[in-house]
């Protein structure tokens, strides 16, 4: 019998040892049998992202494969919070800031509507932080000011958000 939960746990164990080859083999097996398994797609995307970040060769190829995993998740479940954040991160790394903002805004909307679990709070602090860095970088200071106020209202105790200060621009 094929136990997906057990196989996913094995993948995490291989990942912890940086044994990407073994992890991919199991993921490929799961996705061959269950191509719409969200947990396997998400794990595949994260594994690809991590491998791309840890090496200099084939980064674009690995990031693109990860992006396709996240897009498939959103095709199957349009309000998946983690896949939405992951696509924002993908576009942010590519310096396609408007695309990144689109996905970060979508993630914030999903969160405000009750999407995500208890761990989503830390994810949302991260999303606001990344969004604010982008807004400052591209010179959208009015949007920055509005969003920093909103972020600090939702997460007043966030040390990460406290590091950000609005700088008036002439």
pLDDT tens track for 116-161: 665 788 899 999 999 999 999 999 999 999 999 999 999 999 988 8
pLDDT recorded at residue 56: 78
Instruction: Calculate what percentage of the chain has a pLDDT beyond 70.
Output: 94
* pLDDT confidence bin for 164, thresholds 50/70/90: confident
Q: Is the pLDDT of residue 78 over 60?
A: yes
Architecture (CATH level 2) of domain 78-170? Alpha Horseshoe (1.25)
Ranges of each domain in the chain? 1-77, 78-170
DSSP of 84-153: HHHHHHHHHHTT-HHHHHHHHHHHHHHHHTT-S-TTHHHHHHHHHHHHHHHHHHTT-HHHHHHHHHHHHH
Q: Cβ distance 168 to 145 under 8 Å? A: no
The first and second tokens of residue 103, run together, are 């996905």
Burial class (CB in 10 A: 0-12, 13-18, 19+), 118: exposed
Architecture (CATH level 2) of domain 1-77? Alpha Horseshoe (1.25)
62 vs 57, more confident: 62
pLDDT recorded at residue 135: 96
Q: Compute CA 13 distance to the chain's CA centroid, rounded to the nearest angstrom.
A: 21
């Amino acid at each position: 019998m094929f136990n997906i939960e057990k196989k996913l746990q094995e993948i995490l164990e291989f990942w912890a040892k940086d044994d990407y080859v073994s992890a991919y083999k199991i993921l490929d097996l799961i996705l061959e049998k269950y191509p719409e398994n969200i947990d396997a797609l998400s794990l595949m995307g994260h594994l690809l992202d991590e491998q791309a970040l840890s090496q200099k060769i084939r980064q674009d190829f690995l990031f693109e494969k990860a992006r396709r995993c996240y897009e498939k998740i959103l095709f199957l479940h349009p309000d998946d919070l983690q896949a939405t954040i992951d696509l924002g991160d993908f576009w942010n790394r590519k310096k396609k800031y408007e695309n990144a903002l689109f996905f970060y805004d979508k993630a914030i909307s999903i969160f405000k509507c009750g999407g995500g679990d208890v761990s989503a709070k830390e994810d949302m602090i991260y999303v606001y932080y990344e969004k604010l860095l982008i807004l400052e970088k591209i010179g959208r200071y009015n949007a920055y000011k509005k969003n920093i106020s909103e972020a600090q209202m939702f997460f007043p105790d966030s040390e990460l958000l406290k590091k950000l200060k609005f700088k008036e621009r002439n």
